[in-house]
Structure 1
Amino acid sequence: MNGIVFNAGASAFTITAPPLLTLTLSGVGITNSSGTMQNFVTTINGSGGEGAIVFNNTATAGSMTTFTNTGSAFSGVFGGFTQFNNTSTAGSGAFINNGGTVSGAFGGFTAFNSSATAGSGTFTNNGAGVASSTSGGSTGFFNTSTAGNGTFTNNGGTTVSGAFGGTTGFNNGSTAGSGTFTSNPGTVSGAFGGITDFLDTSTAGSGTFTNNGTGVSGAGGGFTRFFGTSTAGSGTFTNNGGTVSSTTGRGNTVFFGTSTADNGNFTNNAGTVVGALGGRTQFSESSTAGNATLIANGGLGSGGTIQFFGSSTGGTARMEVFNNGAGTAGNLDISFHDAPGVTTGSIEGSGAVFLGAFNLTVGNNNLTTTFSGVIQDGGLNGGTGGSLTKMGNGKLTLSMASTYTGGTTITKGTLLVTNQTGSGTGTGAVQVNKGTLGGTGKITGAVTVGTGTSSGAILLPGKSATNPGTLTINGALTFNSLSTYKCVLKRSVVKASKATALGVTINSSSSFTFVDNGSGTLTVGTVFTVINNTSANTIFCTFSNLADGSVFTSNGNNFQASYTGGNGNDLTLTVVP
């Protein structure tokens, strides 16, 4: 059939595709000038016969049209369906795919093949009810078809435990385009939430996805899932927490296989009441966070969470976790991961990071960020001995005390510690292989600058090369060969960098660099303590370019070095004539 035309003023009609019969539209499709909603229904029977409406070539479903695909009432039998092939389009039609009504029955569905598009259509995939293990209604995209800018709602299962929710599925190389997708939770305990799935090489495009948490204890939340080599594209994803205390029922986005979050934006919101789970983004198997931005917010219930399992990777993603001032903080949790741990772009915010027994490496995106939350061992999978590694050209500032126990390593870039209580780097040792350790905070463990075999490791107390301060180390401080102690003088406030440590060892070939900022002549006799050694022992050895008693000149002033200054065991610089 070429098409169906509803002329101006025409009455409302209901056109039914009965079992075993297909209404095929291969020309213009449907033209509705009546100003009245026109209805199309596909039905089924118990012998496996489905009614169908099929659009071929460039046919369109038109406007002010509603298509209802009936769910099956027979186990093992498919529901009625509407199908788009070639370059046909759903226009601005409304499509309702109902769930099956008995156990093992399939729901009604709408399918897009070839290069067909959902246009600006509205699609409602209803969850199953009445019986357990019953499929919900679905919309499926195949080949290179696209969701266009359609609106899709996947409702959760209803009425009985075990009922499945409605689904939207993308297969092959299909794309979500700029569509809007909402997956709602089940409405009774044990019922599953609605789902949007991406398989094969499909992509979320620039779509908007909302996965809602449940308001019913024991019901499942909405899901978006990625399998195979599918990608989140530049989509926007919101995973909402539950609204009732429950061990299930949060909104989820989950990655499997080698799928990627790509350049997507993911927001995971906390549960809205005490005991409600927070929304979650989870990476499993060999999936990757890509170059995504992932946000986990805190709230009254459990905070939103970002989780890594298996051999998944953090890519160059930006991890933002927040406390939000009340309840449980949003968090990043790598405690389920395989050894040795996760490498990602950056961390920032005021939330929590759980390391379990593994290493978190940050800095892969070279950004400059501040983390004011707590980095700690443990997490949902427990574990102790978690560690932190700073890589990349950016700067990470740790402004609060942390409690992880496995130590800290700097391989590149800058790590600033600015906490005022506790230890900014947990309880373990700090190793600077390359890059800079600085700040005005406190460190509990021993600090070693340099590997002894290569240059590029720097200790710079203070916040920058123009802003000196005191870095307090409650353990021993060791400068290995080829390492550098960079001391900054700010003449305007008569202040120099100072490292306080419990014992100081300076190995051969380590060097001292003096950065003199500002102008003006300093008063003769002014003393700057640049290493405050709180141990009873003297400083072991000297910097290769700063002998004990030596004098150097900078900006018109002479400075004399002493390794027995202060209480007799500090490194001081005294302004001399």
Structure 2
Amino acid sequence: MEIHLPTHKVLCSASLLLASLAAGHAQSTWDYSATPDKNWSTVTNWSTDASPAGTAVIFGNTGTTANSTTVGNIVDTSFTGANALSSLLYNQSATSATAWQVTQIGSGQTLTVNGAFTVGGYTSGNNFTQTAFTGGGALNINASSSSFLVSNGSNTSGGTGNLQARAVLDLSALSTFTANVSTFGVGSGNGAGYGTLYLADTSTITASTFTSGGSASIYNGNTSNTIYLGTTTTLNVGTLSLAGTRTFGQVKFRPASSGGANSSAVTGGTLKIRGADGVSGAAMLVGGWTGAFAANGSSVVDLTGGTVDAKVTTLKVGTTTTNNNANSVSATLTVDGSASVFNASGQVTVGETTGGTNGTLSGILNVTGGASFTADSILLGNQTAGAIATNGTFRVSGANTSVTVNNNLTTGSRSGTAAVSATVEVSAGTLLIGGNLAEGSGAANVNSTVNLSGGTIDLTHGNISVDTFSFTGGALKNVASFSAATTGGLSLLNSSSLEFGIDPSFTTLNLTGLLSLSGTSNLQLSLADGFAPGASFVLVSNDAAEAISGIFGTINGAAVGVGNTFFLTNDQGSFQYELSYTGGDGNDLVITAVPEPATCLLAGVGLVGLLWRGRSVRAARLSP
């Protein structure tokens, strides 16, 4: 026999269940009734008519206010040490966005919680649980074996779920927030709800896992979990998973239009990412989806306008393991800022599918604004199984942006049955690759593209093997071999530059296809200090009989001298070379040393002496 409880009893049951997290500890529930004040130290404001020190504190519907800035209760004395709370739960069950529990922590006061901290926690119903902390004091969650959760869910199944169920924690008007917990979750409870977190001006979070994303069991529609970063944020976490599971989300520095209690924008904010020990690297995932979708959507971690100091082991941007129901989903990570340093000791994967059918998954990684980014290797567009179209895009832009890939940058790998595409775009800055820029396994079914319109791609004597290479600006440097199956050959358009370093490790570029030069293209050559150059260097060796098309407009940015001559200079001196477009076997790009004038003069004097001696010998032989 089915038993149907009234809705209010279901909600009360849920509240009691959540409160049981503090089992074994006395409970104190806020029951403020307008007099005499809103202070925590006033014992009549609590259900026990006693201090809440050391107890499990609960805030329900009593004492809510109409917005996030109107204070409903005041921490007027510190709760630390033996007086710290055993847990703290905000579980008001409003059904509109106009009900808030607002806790003010006064300047110089600290509120410490030695157990679970929860805002919301419902798994059914249409609940709005909105909580804000304000003031110049500090909130400290010190519970290394407990959880931190900001989430409300719906039990709706088989579709979009209940898009209104939500939990919000606004710390934007609070001075300091620290959390040392086992798991830290925003919108990561059961059901289809979502969560929003505004971090404090200064926030430090230590956890085994930090997760922003909904339940894998129920899709939550297009609604996003959102995290707004404060001025200084430190994340010491073992695994950092943002905007994934079966939900979309966003992470960014708090803008002025965020709707938080602090209406001002964060300018010049900083985000530091480390492992849980605060020293090693974290495993980072942006947009890691494990469930099917009923609509298109995107997850975005946009760190524009701030400074990032990140140390990670692996980084994945956009992954899925199951069906997409013919929908398109994407994940984007943007690292920005001239002082930003992002270091991945392992592989960076952008766009990865490991199963499922239908739909499209896209991963996008942007490094811009002068940021420094280092990875052991990068894989764009990785389809290990299934039939979901898989795209990976990597963009480098902004003056002084520096990206170093210690090993290979792989443009697509396909073991499944759907299309795979990989795109590298460099418009400014430098992309330095210690290995090769080439397709991976299943290359015959991968579409790979490189667009170089500015900045520099330096292969450090590695190889390029892609389908399409568009070279409209910038510089291509130190390439050992080059092939572009679709575009064929290497075409330098506009003022693009082909660069070689003349040093003991010099490598000829072995070219498949035609070398085509525009009248404004540039040949850039540098001579390493301490290196005495040889007589001749084959810069480009063509694989076939095609003649080089066109000529360079400049060498090292200057007009070419008479007879295609130019000078290279290092600490050993200045050396004159001549450029030939018909060197080697007749169609190679070759530079050859021009003998010094003194050497030419000495050779001329020697020749005159030989001629004079020859004539003297002949005259002697003819005399009687």
How many angstroms apart in 2 are the aligned matches of 1:20 and 1:415? 61
- Give the aligned length: 457
How many angstroms apart in 2 are the aligned matches of 1:20 and 1:514? 78
How many angstroms apart in 2 are the aligned matches of 1:386 and 1:16? 52
Aligned-residue offset at 1:334 = 8.1
The more displaced of 481-490 and 204-213 is 204-213
Q: Secondary structure at the match of 1:433?
A: strand
1:198 aligns with 2:173: no
Runs of 4+ displaced beyond 6 Å: 14-30, 76-79, 98-101, 334-340, 378-381
How many angstroms apart in 2 are the aligned matches of 1:120 and 1:575? 76
How many angstroms apart in 1 are the aligned matches of 2:29 and 2:447? 71
Q: Secondary structure at the match of 2:110?
A: coil
- Aligned residue number for residue 375 of structure 2: 370
- Aligned residue number for residue 204 of structure 2: 235
Check the 8 A contact 1:211/1:224 in 2, yes or no: no
- Aligned residue number for residue 413 of structure 1: 429
- Aligned residue number for residue 445 of structure 1: 467
Within-5 A mapping of 1:174-213: 182=148, 198-199=169-170, 201-202=172-173, 205=176, 207-210=178-181, 212=183
1:544 aligns with 2:571: no
Aligned-residue offset at 1:202 = 3.6
Which one of 495, 510, 523 corresponds to residue 506 of structure 2?
A: 495
Aligned-residue offset at 1:135 = 13
How many angstroms apart in 2 are the aligned matches of 1:115 and 1:381? 56
Aligned-residue offset at 1:515 = 1.5
- Aligned residue number for residue 163 of structure 1: none
Which one of 330, 345, 349 corresponds to residue 352 of structure 1?
A: 349
Letter of the 2:374 counterpart: T
List runs of 5+ in structure 1 lacking aligned partners: 1-13, 31-38, 44-50, 54-60, 157-181, 271-277, 452-456, 462-468
- Aligned residue number for residue 434 of structure 1: 454
Letter of the 1:363 counterpart: T
Aligned-residue offset at 1:530 = 0.9
Q: Cα–Cα, structure 1 residues 286 and 448, in superposed 2: closer, same or farther, change >3 Å?
A: same
1:513 aligns with 2:492: no
Check the 8 A contact 1:41/1:67 in 2, yes or no: no
Check the 8 A contact 2:511/2:543 in 1, yes or no: yes
Tell which structure's C-alpha radius of gyration is larger. 2
- Aligned residue number for residue 478 of structure 1: 491
- Aligned residue number for residue 403 of structure 2: 396
Within-5 A mapping of 1:143-154: 143-144=134-135, 146-149=137-140, 151=142
The structure whose residues are more often strand, as a share, is: 2
Q: Cα–Cα, structure 1 residues 260 and 94, in superposed 2: closer, same or farther, change >3 Å?
A: closer
Q: Cα–Cα, structure 1 residues 18 and 98, in superposed 2: closer, same or farther, change >3 Å?
A: closer
Q: Cα–Cα, structure 1 residues 536 and 550, in superposed 2: closer, same or farther, change >3 Å?
A: same
Letter of the 2:411 counterpart: S
- Aligned residue number for residue 106 of structure 2: 115
The more displaced of 401-410 and 493-502 is 493-502
Q: Secondary structure at the match of 2:411?
A: coil
1:306 aligns with 2:286: yes
Q: Deviations over 1:306-357 (max 9, x none)?
A: 23935663425649685x6xxxx54222889988965433764224222834
Q: Cα–Cα, structure 1 residues 127 and 40, in superposed 2: closer, same or farther, change >3 Å?
A: farther
Aligned-residue offset at 1:507 = 0.8
RMSD: 5.8
- Aligned residue number for residue 274 of structure 1: none
Q: Cα–Cα, structure 1 residues 438 and 535, in superposed 2: closer, same or farther, change >3 Å?
A: farther
How many angstroms apart in 2 are the aligned matches of 1:20 and 1:363? 51
- Aligned residue number for residue 458 of structure 1: 475
Aligned-residue offset at 1:533 = 2.3
Aligned-residue offset at 1:539 = 1.3
The more displaced of 386-395 and 307-316 is 307-316
Aligned-residue offset at 1:385 = 4.2
Check the 8 A contact 1:268/1:304 in 2, yes or no: no
How many angstroms apart in 1 are the aligned matches of 2:124 and 2:513? 66
How many angstroms apart in 2 are the aligned matches of 1:213 and 1:149? 14
Check the 8 A contact 1:110/1:140 in 2, yes or no: yes
1:94 aligns with 2:84: yes
Q: Secondary structure at the match of 1:199?
A: strand
How many angstroms apart in 2 are the aligned matches of 1:516 and 1:204? 55
Q: Cα–Cα, structure 1 residues 338 and 396, in superposed 2: closer, same or farther, change >3 Å?
A: same
Q: Cα–Cα, structure 1 residues 344 and 91, in superposed 2: closer, same or farther, change >3 Å?
A: closer
Aligned-residue offset at 1:206 = 5.1
Check the 8 A contact 2:366/2:394 in 1, yes or no: yes
Check the 8 A contact 1:385/1:406 in 2, yes or no: yes
Letter of the 2:205 counterpart: T
Within-5 A mapping of 1:165-314: 182=148, 198-199=169-170, 201-202=172-173, 205=176, 207-210=178-181, 212=183, 225-226=196-197, 233-238=202-207, 240=209, 256=225, 259-260=228-229, 263-266=232-235, 269=238, 279-280=241-242, 284=249, 287-288=252-253, 291-294=270-273, 304-307=284-287, 309=298, 313-314=302-303
Q: Secondary structure at the match of 2:172?
A: coil
How many angstroms apart in 2 are the aligned matches of 1:196 and 1:292? 24
Q: Cα–Cα, structure 1 residues 232 and 365, in superposed 2: closer, same or farther, change >3 Å?
A: farther
Letter of the 2:271 counterpart: A
Check the 8 A contact 1:155/1:183 in 2, yes or no: no
Letter of the 2:394 counterpart: L
- Aligned residue number for residue 565 of structure 1: 583
List runs of 5+ in structure 2 lacking aligned partners: 1-25, 65-71, 95-99, 157-165, 255-268, 277-281, 288-296, 321-326, 353-360, 413-419, 555-559, 596-624
Q: Cα–Cα, structure 1 residues 224 and 132, in superposed 2: closer, same or farther, change >3 Å?
A: closer
Q: Deviations over 1:260-280 (max 9, x none)?
A: 36542335545xxxxxxx844
How many angstroms apart in 2 are the aligned matches of 1:127 and 1:446? 52
1:332 aligns with 2:320: no
Letter of the 2:520 counterpart: S
For normalisation by structure 2, the TM-score amounts to 0.56
**Identical-pair percentage:** 13
Q: Deviations over 1:124-163 (max 9, x none)?
A: 45889xx986999x9965442633556368967xxxxxxx
Aligned-residue offset at 1:540 = 0.7
Check the 8 A contact 2:183/2:208 in 1, yes or no: yes
Letter of the 1:369 counterpart: T
Q: Secondary structure at the match of 1:113?
A: strand
How many angstroms apart in 2 are the aligned matches of 1:285 and 1:494? 46
Q: Cα–Cα, structure 1 residues 437 and 260, in superposed 2: closer, same or farther, change >3 Å?
A: same
Letter of the 2:431 counterpart: L
For normalisation by structure 1, the TM-score amounts to 0.59
- Aligned residue number for residue 159 of structure 2: none
Q: Deviations over 1:415-461 (max 9, x none)?
A: 1233248449985232222211211322223434335xxxxx22221
- Aligned residue number for residue 358 of structure 2: none
Q: Deviations over 1:37-64 (max 9, x none)?
A: xx99954xxxxxxx555xxxxxxx79xx
Aligned-residue offset at 1:22 = 10
Q: Deviations over 1:368-416 (max 9, x none)?
A: 5234132226799954444222112122123222317243221111112
Letter of the 1:428 counterpart: S
The structure whose residues are more often helix, as a share, is: 2
Q: Cα–Cα, structure 1 residues 561 and 114, in superposed 2: closer, same or farther, change >3 Å?
A: closer
